[in-house]
Structure 1
Amino acid sequence: MAEESTTRLALPAPEDVKDDDKTTLELNSTIKLDKLGPMIVNSDGTISRISNWQEMSQLERDRTVRILLKRNQIRLDYLGNAQSSESLDKAENKQE
């Protein structure tokens, strides 16, 4: 029977990263992620983004942001009211 080699292969060396590619963050610093597009509040309260934001024209982006601002506010108000109503129902049930 042939003897099996137990030599382990090493991982390749990490690629050199240029200093220009690095982002340094400080405590309490702010980063804008404008290139990713606006946040969308879904009807179930989850948050997502527009997948084709980079391919949209500036006119399409402006229209989309205008519509999303209104729709997000409506959804946040609805979700906040639903949560308040649920909290009120729980409080009333505890008093009984």
Structure 2
Amino acid sequence: MADQNSQSDDQQEKRDIPLGLPEPPAGGIQLDVGSGGGVALDHLGPMVVNKDGTISRITNWDRMADIEKKNTLRILQKRNKQRLDALKQANQETPEDAAKS
């Protein structure tokens, strides 16, 4: 019985340890940011605006089929615009409310 508890404790500890980052590609990636030009990060996928204004990315973007990427972009563009507009509206209302108090 104690052996089973020990195993479950070990499994719990393994679940609590955060995973590390994946290994970088062989030879690494070089970015020339000193030239003044932009750096394309298209392989990371589009930016997702969350309801609270934070930004994230789609984790499985590199494994999506082209049609999935196309549909996802179409939906994200609309949703990101709606969320940004709502955040701007909320931000405009906040200073007015503070001035009334």
Q: Please report the TM-score for the alignment, with normalisation by the length of structure 2.
A: 0.68
Change (3 A) 1:55 1:25: same
In terms of fraction of residues, the more helix-rich structure is: 2
Report what 1:8 is aligned to: none
Give, in angstroms, the shift of residue 72 of structure 1: 0.3
Report what 1:26 is aligned to: 34
Change (3 A) 1:21 1:49: closer
Q: Unpaired segments of 5 or more residues in structure 2?
A: 1-25
Give, in angstroms, the shift of residue 21 of structure 1: 4.1
Report what 1:70 is aligned to: 78
- For 2:77, the aligned partner's letter is L
Change (3 A) 1:67 1:21: closer
Runs of at least 4 residues off by over 4 Å = none
Report what 2:8 is aligned to: none
Sequence identity percentage: 43
Matches within 5 A, 1:13-52: 21-26=29-34, 28-52=36-60
C-alpha RMSD over aligned residues: 1.9
Provide the aligned length of Structure 1 versus Structure 2.
76
Q: Unpaired segments of 5 or more residues in structure 1?
A: 1-16
- Counterpart Cα distance in 2 of 1:37 and 1:29: 20
Report what 1:92 is aligned to: 100
Q: Please report the TM-score for the alignment, with normalisation by the length of structure 1.
A: 0.71
- Counterpart Cα distance in 1 of 2:29 and 2:58: 25
